[in-house]
Structure 1
């Protein structure tokens, strides 16, 4: 959902860092793994222990590694197929760690509605990514949506961090809003895949309208 201009602005900041790291012998895959390990560890260590603001800040810093590895890949002329698989895998791990950590903290703190919302977001985030991957494997397109990974991280970490500073209501509002956005994004991607399928084969009848189905 983040528009092209926002991504371009971020790239202007991350590209020099990526080029500098490449010159020091680091690889995009190494940065991807370091970012994923740091994000997962900070989420599961700090947030369940109640250090919400610290957990949000530290995890946000490690999430930035996901921007830097992309800049490094562009600087060396493009990423590799394995690099794309590794990046997507690490993204799923960090998504799961963030929402699992929020659910863990919420259950411990007696905030069961927030815990349930976090678990819905955890499952929904994986489904969003799976719909896109499965569609692309079938030659279809299922991009976009209201709550892609960047939006999910920003909303969740902002809610966690501000709650850690004592701002009332912000975390439940953030999580309930994310539930709605995640469900909407799953529907959006399924509809996008359906449109893509119709464009590839416009002559194919809709389910239940084939000759065989009407006999």
Structure 2
């Protein structure tokens, strides 16, 4: 949802940065890999150690690099099919690492089985929400949209870890169960969109 409403404003900020990075010799695919590797490393190191604030801000910082690969591709005048698949694959890896790390923290550090369960539910739903769109597009159909896409998942999850890091009790558990419900709604929305697209496409 944020992709629709925020994209023009974000592009005004990121496009000049993307142009500068391309001129410096960097590539969109390199930026994608760097952002993903950094986000995964920070999530898997800091959250299981109980460093919620450090994990929140470092994961968020590396996730922001995901905005720059698209800006860099526009600065070059084109993207590539390999780049698009790489970007999607890296998004799934980063999402998986984030929710796995939060589940690890909930089990091993906080001793909160409910929060850990919510993190695992969010992990599974995040992968399926992305998969249904990709599989639909591979079949010539459409399953776009929904309440919670990747940007919203990151915001809700990291707001929870950040607030918990600042001492707000149960922030992670509440944010993750909220995200789980919204993700389930999003999955239902995408299934309905897929069904409509299939009907319009015919047999």
Count of residues paired in the alignment: 202
Indicate the larger mover: 26-35 or 11-20.
Answer: 11-20
Question: Given the two structures, how large is their TM-score scaled by the length of structure 1?
Answer: 0.92
Unaligned runs of 5+ in 1: 205-215
2:118 paired residue number: 117
Matched residues in 2 for 1:184 and 1:99: separation?
Answer: 19
Task: Tell me the CA shift for residue 3 of structure 1.
Answer: 5.3
Matched residues in 2 for 1:125 and 1:36: separation?
Answer: 16
Instruction: Say whether 1:37 aligns with 2:31.
Output: no
Matched residues in 2 for 1:153 and 1:52: separation?
Answer: 14
1:59 paired residue number: 59
Task: Tell me the CA shift for residue 11 of structure 1.
Answer: 1.0
Task: Tell me the CA shift for residue 86 of structure 1.
Answer: 0.4
Mapped contact 2:46–2:54 kept (Cα < 8 A):
yes
Task: Tell me the CA shift for residue 173 of structure 1.
Answer: 1.3
Task: Tell me the CA shift for residue 172 of structure 1.
Answer: 1.5
RMSD in angstroms over aligned alpha carbons? 0.9
2:91 paired residue number: 91
Larger Rg belongs to? 1
2:173 paired residue number: 172
Q: Larger % of helix: which?
A: 2
Unaligned runs of 5+ in 2: none
Q: Which runs of 4+ in 1 moved over 3 A?
A: none
Query: Where in structure 2 are the equivalents of 1:3-18 lying within 5 Å?
Result: 4-18=4-18
Question: Given the two structures, how large is their TM-score scaled by the length of structure 2?
Answer: 0.97
